[in-house]
């Protein structure tokens, strides 16, 4: 985690000027940290680990996986047997998804240089075409791996919960409703998502998957 880049800080200033709900977040929770993940295979692998489990569990599995020799590059991961990957905490489906991701890199279906040149929707579609990835995983990678400023993972439960809390809604918005709400935050929907996650971590006391172990 690092301090916000100047462009991100300017985006936060613009967002809080137009949305009083977002304006309350840093006033209550303190400065928002800037979370960054690897831009390539390792970052996408980390996104797979985080699918549908708590941040605490994901962080523990990620540490064990990262400790396996070669696990964070495609050829090295393919060379690891299932027993080693399962021993790190990956479920059988996630072992299959991790191997599918590695295969996509090895056969050229995914290429970091090409992804970097794609617009957001094209990059999401390319990543989501790999078995086990999906739109949420692709969007999270674009946010934290490629640091795209206008990507909003509307299916994320924590984002829905944060909006519900901030706006005192009677129920969590659906992904479609949340995506509609996020239109007001263009062209910085990704920065708004980071603010909302920051708020939810403050409200719940839950760490991020990327928080250091203390």
Greatest Cα pair distance, the chain, in angstroms, is 52
- pLDDT at 73 (0 to 100): 96
Average pLDDT of the segment spanning 162-172: 97
- For 50-98, the DSSP string reads TTTS-HHHHHHHHHHHHTSTTTTSHHHHHHS-HHHHHHTT--HHHHHHH
**CA 63 – CA 50 distance, rounded (Å):** 12
30-67 pLDDT per residue, tens: 999 999 999 999 999 999 998 888 888 999 999 999 99
Name beta bridge partners: 34: 2
- pLDDT at 3 (0 to 100): 79
**CA 99 – CA 214 distance, rounded (Å):** 31
Tokens of 36: 């960054």
pLDDT band, residue 174 (cuts 50/70/90): very high
**CA 160 – CA 106 distance, rounded (Å):** 36
Residue 166 φ/ψ, nearest 5 degrees: -65, -40
Answer whether CATH 3.10.20.90 is correct for domain 6-34+151-204.
no
- Options 3.30.360.10, 2.70.98.10, 1.10.340.30, 3.30.70.3000; CATH for 41-144 is 1.10.340.30
Collect all residues with Cβ–Cβ distance below 8 Å to 91 and sequence separation of at least 6.
none
Q: Do domains 6-34+151-204 and 41-144 have the same CATH topology?
A: no
CB hemisphere CA count around 84 (13 angstroms): 15
Distance between first and last Cα of the chain? 15
Contact between 149 and 187 under an 8 Å Cβ cutoff? The reply is yes
**CA 48 – CA 37 distance, rounded (Å):** 13
Residue 19 pLDDT exceeds 60: yes
- pLDDT at 46 (0 to 100): 93
pLDDT band, residue 211 (cuts 50/70/90): very low
CA angle 54, 55, 60 (to 5 degrees): 100
| Stretch (H or E) spanning 116 | helix 112-117
Residue 99 pLDDT exceeds 90: yes
137-152 pLDDT per residue, tens: 999 999 999 999 999 9
- pLDDT at 206 (0 to 100): 77
Q: Hey, is 15 helix, strand or coil? A: helix
Average pLDDT of the segment spanning 84-91: 97
- Integer angstrom CA distances of residue 66 from 57, 115, 136, 210: 14, 24, 22, 13
Residue 212 pLDDT exceeds 90: no
- pLDDT at 209 (0 to 100): 58
Contact between 62 and 68 under an 8 Å Cβ cutoff? The reply is no
192-208 pLDDT per residue, tens: 999 999 999 999 987 66
Residue 214 pLDDT exceeds 50: no
Q: Which residue has the tokens 């794609």?
A: 118
Domain residue ranges in the chain: 6-34+151-204, 41-144
């Amino acid at each position: 985690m690092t301090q916000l880049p100047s462009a991100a800080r300017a985006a936060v200033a613009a967002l809080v000027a137009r949305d009083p709900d977002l304006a309350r977040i840093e006033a209550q929770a303190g400065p928002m940290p800037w979370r960054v993940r690897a831009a390539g295979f390792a970052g996408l692998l980390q996104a797979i680990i985080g699918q549908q489990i708590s941040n605490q569990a994901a962080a523990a599995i990620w540490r064990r996986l990262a400790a396996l020799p070669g696990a964070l590059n495609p050829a090295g991961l393919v060379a690891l047997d299932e027993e080693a990957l399962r021993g790190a905490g990956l479920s059988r489906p996630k072992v299959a998804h991790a191997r599918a991701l590695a295969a996509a890199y090895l056969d050229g279906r995914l290429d970091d240089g090409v992804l970097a040149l794609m617009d957001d929707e094209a990059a999401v579609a390319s990543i989501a075409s790999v078995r086990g990835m999906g739109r949420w995983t692709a969007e999270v990678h674009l946010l934290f791996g490629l640091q795209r400023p206008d990507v909003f993972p509307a299916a994320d439960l924590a984002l829905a919960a944060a909006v519900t809390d901030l706006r005192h809604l009677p129920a969590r918005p659906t992904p479609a409703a949340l995506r509609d709400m996020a239109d007001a935050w263009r062209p910085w929907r990704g920065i708004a998502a980071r603010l909302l996650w920051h708020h939810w971590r403050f409200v719940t006391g839950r760490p991020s998957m990327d928080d250091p172990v203390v």
